[in-house]
């Protein structure tokens, strides 16, 4: 054939292929957007996540690892997955720490003859004080480095960590990250310089009288000393007395202790993929909570959203090509044992995880997702996110994930974290204020819908 | 000179100019982003909007047009602007409607011999019932068209509008827009077919016992009949009785009335532009509120944010090239008289508005702005929005503005509306629940900062 004709044919063929491909892509995108619309309508009409959260947080309540409530939560999760028609529902046992707060925790500021009770709570993992408490002079610091520099000036004293979360950070998680070393490592550094206990300003941006607990830890070879959070009001009070040049003593009484590890479980269920069932997208949150409040935002939200996301996909009759698995992790708060056990679990050699999505940043209106993956994978994931615009959750940014899914990164699994609006999270986090009345049913549901939309498209497209 | 050399010179010159321009633009953008960062830090550290809102909503309370509280709010706004050091602070008088709720409003469902009180409130603008009330059979409808089609079936009855806001809409303002004709026009349509009163399901997505008021209107030549909102719980109750085939009667007693118009004011103050003072960027919200709740989100938020935005710009020592004017409008809720008067006000012939920004969608975390302008201007405005990423408010979309600034559109002024996260707005809107405890100080402040960032860049760049 003449060259020109061949070129023309080639051109036509290329044109047809390109046209076909781009129209197929366009068609797929329209279809994802339509399905996202259906998931959204169903979600907002039925508000299933809030119903689930009402059971978990409203009826069972808080559920610290090893507690009877945590065991109830496992049974509840198991039953919920079966009721919702998930496949291969099972428990994956894991040994978890068992710390208990005990019945007594109190403190008072002693300013000369004036004794004023202050709002405190033991930090998770702390040892108790002697029964009669510890009474000692308070020395205020603002960093671990400042504690180190106290040297002998700390001996026999209570070190009071009072660096606030930085209110000028727009992202409150960044403000938290910039202050939380005082809570997690403060006791170790203080013990090294001879302190007898630590008080830590609560990790919150609100000035009120509610203490916020959270994990602290000890290290081998350093003496264990008791550690408690003080409310921000109490922190300001101690600070104001010290600013006046007064010698401030605090009496601290804690009765918390660590008991032997307890057997608990991750709860696992899925929708099997129709074409590539061994390729798995995980969605999850953590079933345990602290023992203050009711674990509504942290992380009843993530648990109820993960269950609801899978329910929405299933009840719309969508049949993902790859498996979408819902995992309710145990023990994120004080050990991450569930996340570690899930990643280490022996499974069929053919099976591998293509992505893991966690919701553990509160049940507020979703704005997007954070993605922890190499550049090529990040771009592929980003291309699966367009339909998230349906619920305003299409800001896809680099970095993110979640505590429970983080051990999967060792096997190269891309990690994805739901990003909700974050201004109110630390008002409630780890405190008596983390109750279901702080959760808006529609905001919670939109997060569930966003997870469903994203998980479904990833399960269809693969990575 | 040789042609080649001339071309080369031209190329060099173009290159230099382009380089200079792009580096100048880059420099300006860095500078806007830096200033946005400073505005953000100052705003989040000082939380000035919340302090202002505490005075307006917390101390003065609600402030319906014509009421003593509205007069107090005008004086407060005037004083606040002077205290904050604004220039050319003045009042612009405007006559406003004066509707009062009266001391009595109640209703009861009569189901045979059973009389059950239900939660209602008069709609703004409604006439009273006779003192002894109106007792009549209820007929339920779901649209104005359905009312029309009742014909003689409505004579002597109370028409009950019970079409809910569509919960499947992600954007709650869209859901509101799809239901609110029942409230605003329901009485007119019902009167045309001989009804004696109307009840309207409250405009909210929550099922609770709190009625939500709002504007209704009459038209010349159609009989005026009383109109009240019923709580969603009451609406569901009436509906469930009717569904059972029962004949339901309601007794409605209202004592509201419209008094003669009252003189009130818009409150105006500004930072004069250093280079083009006659080019004005307006920022504002409305000072009046309904008489239920305390007008915290609607629109104490917009008022306090507008004041705070100008305070932030001023107190950082920024000197905008063009004037930024803060306008606290009167009477958005039931007349828009302030907005109309502001647009009609005779000013210096040289002066013109280059843009107007309103905050009247609640004091929640800002996500972006809606812009009502021609395509060319829209693009110019969009280019001034990059620095808004500092506070996560950089979603710029077509369409938007605000009631008070809408009359400026007649003179071709581009209208810009702050878009906050919107899921909770109608939980509180126009009801006893619109109080300051529903406002998060940081979310409110981020809206103020977003307005400051945007207004400042527009005032620097012009349009």
**DSSP secondary structure string for all residues of A339-383:** HHHHHH----TT-EEEEEEE--S-SSPEEEEEEES-HHHHHHHHH
For residue A447, the distance in angstroms to the closest alpha carbon of chain B comes to: 12
Q: What is residue A1's predicted lDDT score, i.e. its pLDDT?
A: 38
Nearest CB to B392 within list A168, A170, A443: A170
Contact B169 A440 (CB under 8 A): no
Helix axes B441-461, B3-46, angle to 10 degrees: 150
| Domains parsed from chain A with CATH numbers | 40-99+260-461 (3.40.630.10), 102-255 (3.50.30.30)
> Which phi and psi (to 5°) does residue B152 adopt?
-65, -15
Contact B168 A44 (CB under 8 A): yes
For residue A367, the distance in angstroms to the closest alpha carbon of chain B comes to: 9
Contact A169 B390 (CB under 8 A): no
Contact A424 B443 (CB under 8 A): yes
Round to the nearest angstrom and report the end-to-end CA distance of chain B. Answer: 42
For residue A37, the distance in angstroms to the closest alpha carbon of chain B comes to: 9
For residue B332, the distance in angstroms to the closest alpha carbon of chain A comes to: 28
Report the residue of chain A nearest B44, measured CA to CA: A168
Question: What pLDDT, in 10s, does the model give residues B200-226?
Answer: 999 999 999 999 999 999 999 999 999
Helices and strands: H and E segment counts in chain B: 12, 16
Helix axes A3-46, A301-315, angle to 10 degrees: 120
Cβ(B296)–Cβ(B435) below 8 Å: yes
Residues of A near B (Cβ–Cβ under 8 Å) read 40-41, 44-45, 167-170, 172, 205, 365, 367, 390-392, 421, 423-424, 427, 440, 442-443, 446
Contact B168 A440 (CB under 8 A): no
Task: Report the alpha-carbon distance of residue A159 to residue B188 in Å, rounded.
Answer: 71
Nearest CB to A45 within list B167, B423, B427: B167
Residue A446 with chain B: CB contacts under 8 Å: 170, 423
Q: What is residue A111's predicted lDDT score, i.e. its pLDDT?
A: 87
Short-list B412, B417, B387, CA closest to B399 = B417
Omega before A343 within 30 of 0, i.e. cis: no
Contact B392 A424 (CB under 8 A): no
Size of interface A-B (CB pairs under 8 A): 54
Q: What is residue B85's predicted lDDT score, i.e. its pLDDT?
A: 97
Contact B421 A421 (CB under 8 A): yes
Nearest CB to A390 within list B40, B170, B442: B170
Q: What is residue A2's predicted lDDT score, i.e. its pLDDT?
A: 39
Residue B423 with chain A: CB contacts under 8 Å: 365, 440, 442-443, 446
Q: What is residue B19's predicted lDDT score, i.e. its pLDDT?
A: 45
Residue B367 with chain A: CB contacts under 8 Å: 367, 392
Which positions of chain B have pLDDT values less than 70? 1-30
Task: Report the alpha-carbon distance of residue A197 to residue B317 in Å, rounded.
Answer: 46
Helices and strands: H and E segment counts in chain A: 12, 16
Residue B391 with chain A: CB contacts under 8 Å: 170
Grouping H, G, I as helix, E, B as strand and the rest as coil, residue A92 is strand
Contact B170 A443 (CB under 8 A): no
Nearest CB to B443 within list A44, A423, A446: A423
Tokens linked to A144: 């671990």
Q: How far is CA B318 from CA B29, B459, B463, in A?
A: 16, 11, 19
Buried b (16+ CB within 10 A) or exposed e, A412-436: ebbbbbbbbbbbbbbbbbbbbbbbb
For residue A442, the distance in angstroms to the closest alpha carbon of chain B comes to: 7
Active site residues of B: 332
Mutant choice from A442, A443, A445 vs B, greatest count of B C-beta within 10 A? A442
For residue B201, the distance in angstroms to the closest alpha carbon of chain A comes to: 18
Give the count of beta carbons closer than 10 Å to the beta carbon of residue A4: 8
Task: Report the alpha-carbon distance of residue A81 to residue A372 in Å, rounded.
Answer: 28
For residue B258, the distance in angstroms to the closest alpha carbon of chain A comes to: 37
Nearest CB to A205 within list B172, B421, B442: B442
Nearest CB to B391 within list A170, A427, A442: A170
Residues of B near A (Cβ–Cβ under 8 Å) read 40-41, 44-45, 167-170, 172, 205, 365, 367, 390-392, 421, 423-424, 427, 440, 442-443, 446
Q: What is residue A24's predicted lDDT score, i.e. its pLDDT?
A: 53
Give the count of beta carbons closer than 10 Å to the beta carbon of residue A352: 13
Contact A424 B446 (CB under 8 A): no
Nearest CB to A440 within list B44, B390, B424: B424
Contact B423 A168 (CB under 8 A): no
Which positions of chain A have pLDDT values less than 50? 1-21
Report the residue of chain A nearest B171, measured CA to CA: A391
Nearest CB to A442 within list B205, B391, B440: B205
Active site residues of A: 332
Residue B442 with chain A: CB contacts under 8 Å: 167, 172, 205, 423
Nearest CB to B170 within list A40, A169, A205: A40
Q: What is residue B17's predicted lDDT score, i.e. its pLDDT?
A: 45
Residue B38 with chain A: CB contacts under 8 Å: none
Q: What is residue B112's predicted lDDT score, i.e. its pLDDT?
A: 87
For residue A346, the distance in angstroms to the closest alpha carbon of chain B comes to: 41
Question: What pLDDT, in 10s, does the model give residues B375-392?
Answer: 999 999 999 999 999 999
Q: Has the ipTM of the complex gone over 0.95? A: no
Contact A423 B40 (CB under 8 A): no
| This model's pTM is above 0.90 | yes
Report the residue of chain B nearest A172, measured CA to CA: B442
For B140-185, the DSSP string reads EESSHHHHHHHGGGGTTSEEEE-PPP-TT-SSHHHHHHTTTHHHHH
> Which phi and psi (to 5°) does residue A124 adopt?
-65, 125
Residue A440 with chain B: CB contacts under 8 Å: 423-424, 427
Report the residue of chain B nearest A438, measured CA to CA: B438
Q: Are strands A105-111 and A87-100 parallel, antiparallel or unpaired?
A: unpaired
Taking the C-alpha atoms of A13, A16, A22 and A23 in order, what is their torsion angle to the nearest 10 degrees? -160
Grouping H, G, I as helix, E, B as strand and the rest as coil, residue A2 is coil
């Amino acid at each position: 054939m003449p060259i020109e004709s061949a070129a023309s044919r080639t051109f036509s063929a290329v044109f047809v292929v390109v046209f076909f491909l781009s129209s197929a892509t366009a068609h797929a995108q329209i279809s994802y957007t339509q399905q996202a619309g259906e998931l959204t309508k169903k979600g907002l009409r039925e508000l299933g996540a809030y119903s689930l959260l009402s059971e978990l947080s409203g009826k069972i309540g808080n559920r610290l690892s090893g507690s009877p409530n945590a065991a109830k939560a496992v049974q509840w999760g198991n039953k919920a997955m079966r009721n919702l028609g998930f496949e291969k529902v099972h428990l994956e046992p894991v040994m978890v720490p068992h710390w208990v707060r005990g019945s007594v925790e109190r403190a008072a500021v002693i300013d000369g003859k004036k004794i004023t009770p202050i709002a405190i709570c033991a930090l998770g993992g702390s040892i108790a004080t002697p029964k009669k408490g510890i009474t000692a002079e308070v020395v205020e610091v603002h960093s671990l480095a400042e504690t180190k520099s106290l040297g002998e000036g700390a001996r026999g004293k209570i070190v009071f960590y009072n660096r606030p979360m930085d209110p000028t950070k727009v992202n409150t998680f960044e403000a938290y990250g910039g202050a939380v070393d005082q809570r997690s490592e403060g006791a170790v550094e203080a013990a090294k310089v001879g302190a007898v206990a630590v008080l830590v300003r609560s990790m919150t941006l609100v000035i009120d009288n509610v203490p916020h607990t959270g994990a602290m830890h000890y290290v081998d070879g350093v003496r264990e000393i008791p550690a408690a959070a003080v409310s921000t009001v109490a922190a300001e009070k101690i600070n104001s007395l010290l600013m006046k040049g007064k010698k401030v003593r605090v009496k601290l009484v804690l009765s918390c202790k660590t008991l032997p590890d307890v057997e608990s479980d991750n709860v696992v269920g899925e929708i099997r993929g129709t074409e590539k069932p061994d390729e798995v997208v995980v969605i999850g949150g953590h079933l345990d909570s602290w023992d203050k409040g009711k674990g509504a935002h942290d992380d009843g939200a993530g648990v109820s959203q993960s269950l609801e996301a899978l329910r929405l996909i299933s009840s719309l009759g969508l049949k993902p090509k790859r498996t979408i698995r819902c995992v309710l992790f145990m023990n994120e708060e004080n050990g991450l044992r569930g996340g570690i056990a899930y990643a280490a679990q022996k499974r069929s050699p053919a099976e591998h995880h293509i992505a893991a999505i966690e919701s553990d940043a509160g049940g507020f209106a979703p704005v997007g997702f954070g993605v922890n993956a190499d550049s090529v994978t990040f771009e592929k994931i980003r291309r699966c996110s367009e339909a998230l615009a349906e619920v305003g959750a299409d800001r896809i940014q680099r970095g993110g994930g979640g505590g429970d899914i983080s051990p999967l990164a060792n096997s190269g699994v891309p990690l994805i974290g739901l990003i909700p609006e974050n201004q109110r999270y630390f008002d409630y986090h780890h405190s008596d204020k983390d109750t279901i009345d702080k959760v808006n049913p529609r905001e919670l549901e939109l997060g569930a819908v966003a997870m469903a939309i994203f998980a479904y498209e990833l399960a269809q497209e693969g990575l």
